[in-house]
């Protein structure tokens, strides 16, 4: 009698956990597929705005991996893992990373603003952060200008957007 009860319990456990594992795999596969579709839609939409290709690729990857984190949390939740503390851990890690990269994130955000708002373009003559020269390149974190005697001056984007900019448009 004990063997039959043990077999029945084992069968119930296999069915119960087997279904949870199958559903978790389905959630993972579908979630990954959906994250890829959303990331590609973000990329397609941003390309229409004529943003810098590097910025578009970066934002696509951020979107994809952020959605994958949510998919991973959903999979863990389906498997019966308590995800509340995991979500709190991810949030705390995000805050710590944000504080650690505060300057870089400010320069990145300023670079995005420069690309979107176009206060100046490559070839314009600008005065910003105590330097002046012709804009040679606008990068994600900094802007490169050619100063006097063709000196290469690299100005962090946050310095440019956080202060007065004098722009003389190219002719």
| 70 token code pair | 């949510």
Task: Please determine, for residue 2, whether its predicted confidence score (pLDDT) is greater than 70.
Answer: no
Angle at 80 between CA 76 and CA 83, to 5 degrees: 50
Residue 159 lies in a domain: yes
pLDDT in tens, 146-169: 988 879 999 999 999 888 888 887
Taking Cα atoms as reference points, which of 63, 61, 141, 139 lies closest to residue 108? Answer: 141
Contact 125, 168 (CB under 8 A): yes
> Which residue did the predictor score with more confidence, 114 or 51?
114
C-alpha 35/C-alpha 59 separation (Å) is 13
Average pLDDT over residues 8-31: 84
Residue 64 lies in a domain: yes
Taking Cα atoms as reference points, which of 99, 97, 98, 104 lies closest to residue 142? Answer: 104
Global model pTM greater than 0.75: no
Q: Are residues 59 and 88 in the same domain?
A: yes
Average pLDDT of the residues of the chain: 85
pLDDT in tens, 106-127: 888 888 888 888 888 888 999 9
Q: Are residues 27 and 73 in the same domain?
A: yes
Tell me, what CATH number does 10's domain have? 1.10.287.1260
Angle between helices 102-117 and 53-78 (to 10 degrees): 130
**76: domain range?**
2-100
Count how many domains the chain has. Answer: 2
Task: Please determine, for residue 53, whether its predicted confidence score (pLDDT) is greater than 80.
Answer: no
Taking Cα atoms as reference points, which of 26, 123, 37, 34 lies closest to residue 75? Answer: 26
Residue 21 lies in a domain: yes
| 48 token code pair | 């229409």
Tally Cβ neighbours within 10 Å of residue 4: 8
C-alpha 36/C-alpha 42 separation (Å) is 10
Average pLDDT over residues 78-88: 82
Cα 21 to its chain centre, rounded Å, is: 30
Average pLDDT over residues 86-90: 80
Task: Please determine, for residue 7, whether its predicted confidence score (pLDDT) is greater than 80.
Answer: no
């Amino acid at each position: 009698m004990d063997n039959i009860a043990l077999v029945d319990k084992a069968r119930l456990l296999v069915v119960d956990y087997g279904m949870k594992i199958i559903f978790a795999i389905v959630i993972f596969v579908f979630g990954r597929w959906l994250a890829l579709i959303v990331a590609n839609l973000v990329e397609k939409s941003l390309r229409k705005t004529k943003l810098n290709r590097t910025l578009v690729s970066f934002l696509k990857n951020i979107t994809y991996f952020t959605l994958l984190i949510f998919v991973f949390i959903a999979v863990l939740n389906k498997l019966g893992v308590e995800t509340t503390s995991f979500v709190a851990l991810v949030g705390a890690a995000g805050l710590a990373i944000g504080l650690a990269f505060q300057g870089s994130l400010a320069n990145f955000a300023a670079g995005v603003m420069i690309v979107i708002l176009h206060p100046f373009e490559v070839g314009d003559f600008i005065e910003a952060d105590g330097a002046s020269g012709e804009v040679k390149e606008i990068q994600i974190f900094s802007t490169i200008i050619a100063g006097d005697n063709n000196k290469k001056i690299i100005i962090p984007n946050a310095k440019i957007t956080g202060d007065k900019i004098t722009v003389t448009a190219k002719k």
